[in-house]
């Protein structure tokens, strides 16, 4: 699909009408099939899933089992559109491919992109994963290695993202719920302070903060269905701006963003940098107001919004209904058409 020269916002009805064309990004991809270690799975592009944190330290089943995978379907909701966005960027890359993942978690999209690039458009690849939780950074490195990617050849940056370099409070967890949200604003910090004052543990918490940078306060986190309940330990973590991350990069083919509401703080100050350096962008949004505000920001700066599905919504498609948890914004930067390394 070729973006139009005139930037505009694509309505949900328009986006759904394009699904038949979007399905073309899967042309020529044979879904993976073969033997995998018992208890593990592969994506349709062949990426081996990580060993879950709750499985570490116990004996996993020996041997392998045969698995067949399928191409993603529209009814998978936002995950389907993540694949569409990534594959469009990969098919359009020239000479080299650079991908940045903000909120990289355990690195799933980065690994999937590297393996898809090998199959569809082989070329040198630079992966940049930005993740606030040190446990997930370690998991990301292991996920790279298990899928034949040397983490020393890429960038794994352990930092939160915001509108300044002031450290933020972030819930760190050895599990991987993916719902960890940082405390950014002064109002949010006052709420946390009130909670500390009411706890009767102010002195102990202050000691923990000074000596360890951690409150030793644990908050429950939303965990995916079928996984153990998770709690996050509130710690002060290093913080960078999006501009900090992008300064050393000359050009980014694809930017994937899933930073749990921090997009409202981190992206607006970086829009000029994104305009100059990013060709394709996929953003998971968290809240209707955030979705609307950022969509309007990109349109105002000349981006073409190709997919626009609000968070927490239901839609119908030719393949059946689907729901979103996070919102979906997939955008193309016409100013960089023809540019690249």
pLDDT in tens, the chain (341 residues): 334 434 445 555 666 666 666 668 898 899 999 999 988 899 999 999 998 777 666 667 789 999 999 999 988 889 999 999 999 999 999 999 999 999 999 999 999 999 999 999 999 999 999 999 999 999 999 999 999 999 999 999 999 999 999 999 999 988 877 778 888 888 988 988 898 888 888 998 899 888 888 888 888 887 777 677 888 889 999 999 999 999 999 999 999 999 999 999 999 999 999 999 999 999 999 999 999 999 999 999 999 999 999 999 998 887 788 999 999 999 999 999 876 66
pLDDT at position 7 is 44
pTM for the predicted model, two decimal places: 0.90
**Residue 237 — φ and ψ, nearest 5°?**
-125, 155
> Which one-letter DSSP state was computed for residue 49?
P
Q: How many CB atoms lie within 10 A of CB 231?
A: 15
pLDDT at position 323 is 92
State which fold the 71-164+239-336 domain adopts.
Rossmann fold (3.40.50)
State in Å, rounded, how far the first CA of the chain is from the last one: 22
The residues of the chain that CATH labels 3.40.50.150 are: 71-164+239-336
pLDDT at position 213 is 85
Nearest alpha carbon to residue 109 among 170, 24, 43: 43
CA distance 199 to 216: 12
Cβ atoms 128, 154 nearer than 8 A: yes
């Amino acid at each position: 699909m070729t973006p139009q020269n005139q930037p505009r916002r694509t309505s949900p009805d328009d986006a759904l009408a394009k699904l038949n064309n979007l399905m073309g990004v899967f042309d020529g991809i044979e879904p993976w099939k073969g033997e995998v270690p018992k208890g593990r799975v592969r994506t349709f592009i062949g990426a081996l899933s990580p060993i879950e944190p709750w499985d570490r330290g116990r004996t996993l089943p020996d041997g392998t089992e045969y698995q067949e995978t399928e191409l993603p379907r529209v009814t998978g909701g936002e995950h389907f559109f993540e694949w569409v966005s990534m594959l469009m960027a990969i098919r359009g890359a020239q000479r080299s491919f650079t991908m940045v993942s903000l909120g990289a978690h355990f690195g799933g999209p980065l690994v999937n992109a590297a393996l898809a690039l090998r199959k569809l458009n082989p070329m040198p690849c630079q992966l940049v994963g930005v993740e606030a939780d040190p446990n997930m950074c370690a998991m990301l490195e292991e996920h790279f290695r298990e899928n034949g990617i040397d983490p020393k050849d890429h960038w794994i940056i352990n930092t939160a993202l915001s509108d300044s370099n002031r450290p933020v409070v972030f819930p760190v967890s050895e599990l991987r719920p993916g719902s960890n949200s940082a405390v950014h604003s002064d109002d949010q910090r006052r709420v946390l302070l009130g909670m500390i004052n009411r706890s009767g543990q102010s002195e102990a918490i202050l000691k923990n903060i000074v000596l360890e940078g951690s409150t030793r306060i644990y908050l429950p986190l939303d965990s995916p269905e079928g996984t153990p309940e998770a709690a996050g330990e509130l710690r002060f973590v290093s913080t960078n701006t999006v501009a900090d991350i992008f300064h050393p990069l000359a050009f980014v083919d694809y930017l994937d963003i899933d930073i749990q509401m921090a997009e409202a703080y981190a992206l607006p100050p970086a829009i000029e940098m994104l305009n100059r350096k990013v060709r394709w962008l996929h953003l998971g949004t968290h809240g209707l107001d955030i979705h609307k505000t950022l969509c309007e920001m990109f349109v105002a700066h000349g981006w073409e919004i190709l997919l626009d599905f609000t968070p927490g919504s239901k839609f119908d498609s030719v393949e059946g209904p689907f729901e979103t948890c996070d919102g979906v914004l997939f955008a193309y930067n016409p100013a960089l058409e023809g540019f690249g390394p």
